[in-house]
Amino acid sequence: MKRLFTAVLGIATVGVLAACGSGPAPGGDSGSRTAGGTITMGFSQVGAESGWRTANTTSIQDAAKAAGINLKFSDANGVQENQISAIRSFVQQRVDVIAFSPVVRTGWDAVLLEAKNAGIPVILTDRAVDTQEKDVYKTFLGADFVQEGKWAGEWVVKQYAATPGPVNIVQLEGTTGSDPALERSSGFADAIAANPGLKVIASQTGDFTRSGGKQVMEAFLKANPKIDVVFAQNDDMALGAIEAIQAAGLKPGQDIKIVAIDATHDGMQALADGKLNFIVECNPLLGPELMDLAKKVVAGESVPPRVVTPDQTFDQQQAAVALPDRKY
Ligand code: GZL
């Protein structure tokens, strides 16, 4: 059953944004906008760990060009310290707006306060942060990861409804401490909780990479004689797990079922080929909406505190039909 999760817009804030520092810095200029009013955005990206990330980066770079926004783009190679340095540098360069996808959920208070005190608005994209500080970012744009984990878990519940337990599940977690890993784990756990026959017998991070998924799956296969299902928190780890399962002489998608999240091209191809069984989409094409939000925020207009992007799900038949028209 294909589900379409409509975009849920957060309730628009009525707050006086100037008070939250979206206006020019106290006593400072209004940013590095050129005379023609071109907005300059500093963007700190997690890295290039997955097919999803590559598509996300392309979307942001293309959308900035299309929107006439001058983009200063920094790739952190998965290291939080690099993101913090990049954000600090954007503040020093007095960009008009900062956007970033935080590699992990915690440790951002100081640098977010620096941007706020400099009067530079911040937009979170893709992943959220935990912070006690008030008004240190204008909005979050991204998916509902708990829902994604729930849809993956609900597929497993449905798939094994008539199978007497135990059904042994192994979980390939995303980057430790990252918003998607934490929330997909909790969504999946919630979805299977009422079914004692569904057991997560092992769970470990594969860091959202293909090689990480392969290495962890190799270890799972050595340590567990009976594995029925793999829940991979992204396609790249699922694709690595497929390699490990094949190397062990087993058929992925048949001997061991695999459910994943993202719906990137390679994942959808494996799904259509029967090596995966179900994928929950997590749309990476955030660029156009990010640029619209940036223009509003720089202009001091109010924006919703949370803008959730729509997701959907695919089984093998749906993947085969959808593949030719996929944009990523
Ligand atoms: C999800 C994103 C995750 C993807 C992975 O929005 O943060 O990071 O699911 C990517 O593929 O590495």
The domain spanning residue 173 has which CATH number? 3.40.50.2300
Answer yes or no: do 150 and 278 share one domain: yes
Residue 165: what pLDDT?
81
Mutation to probe ligand 1, out of 75, 83, 234 (largest number of atoms < 8 A from CB): 234
Q: Is 172 within 8 Å of 232 (Cβ atoms)?
A: yes
**Is residue 17 included in any domain, yes or no?**
no
Q: What pLDDT score does 24 carry?
A: 41
The pLDDT of residue 17: 40
Are residues 172 and 244 both part of a single domain? yes
Q: How far is the CA of 266 from the centre of ligand 1 (A)?
A: 14
Residues 6+ apart with CB under 8 A from 129: 102, 105, 106, 108, 112, 137, 179
Mean pLDDT throughout 139-155? 98
CB of residue 252 inside a 6 A radius of ligand 1? no
DSSP 15: -
- 263 and 306 housed in the same domain: no
- Whether ligand 1 lies within 6 angstroms of the CB of 49 is answered as yes
The reply to whether 292 and 267 lie within a common domain is no
Which tokens is 25 given? 């810095």
Structural domain contains residue 318: no
- Does residue 25 lie within any of the structural domains? no
Say how many Å lie between the CA of residue 148 and the centre of ligand 1.
12
Asked if residue 186 is part of any domain, the answer here is yes
Q: Is the pTM of this model over 0.85?
A: yes
Query: Do 159 and 195 share a domain, yes or no?
Result: yes
Same domain, 100 and 123: yes
Q: Is 99 helix (H, G, I), strand (E, B) or coil?
A: strand
Q: Is the CB of 183 under 6 A from ligand 1?
A: no
Question: Mean pLDDT of all residues in the chain?
Answer: 92
In the prediction, which pLDDT does 209 show? 98
| 229 occurs within a structural domain | yes
In a domain, 65, yes or no: yes
Q: What's the pLDDT score for residue 33?
A: 56
Range of the domain at 60: 32-143+285-310
pLDDT higher than 60, residue 7: no
Ligand 1 center–CA 53 separation, angstroms:
6
Enumerate residues 6+ apart whose C-beta is below 8 A from 236. Answer: 49, 50, 51, 52, 208, 209, 210, 213, 262, 264, 266, 267
Specify the pLDDT at position 23: 41
Kindly report, residue by residue over 90-127, the tens digit of the pLDDT. Answer: 999 999 999 999 999 999 999 999 999 999 999 999 99
Convert the pLDDT of each residue in 217-253 to its tens digit.
Answer: 999 999 999 999 999 999 999 999 999 999 999 999 9
**Residue 259: its H or E element:** strand 257-262
Does residue 170 sit in the same domain as residue 269?
A: yes
Whether residues 156 and 261 share a domain: the answer is: yes
- Please identify, by atom number, the ligand 1 atom nearest to the C-alpha of residue 142: 6
**Angstrom distance (rounded) from CA 141 to CA 59:** 14
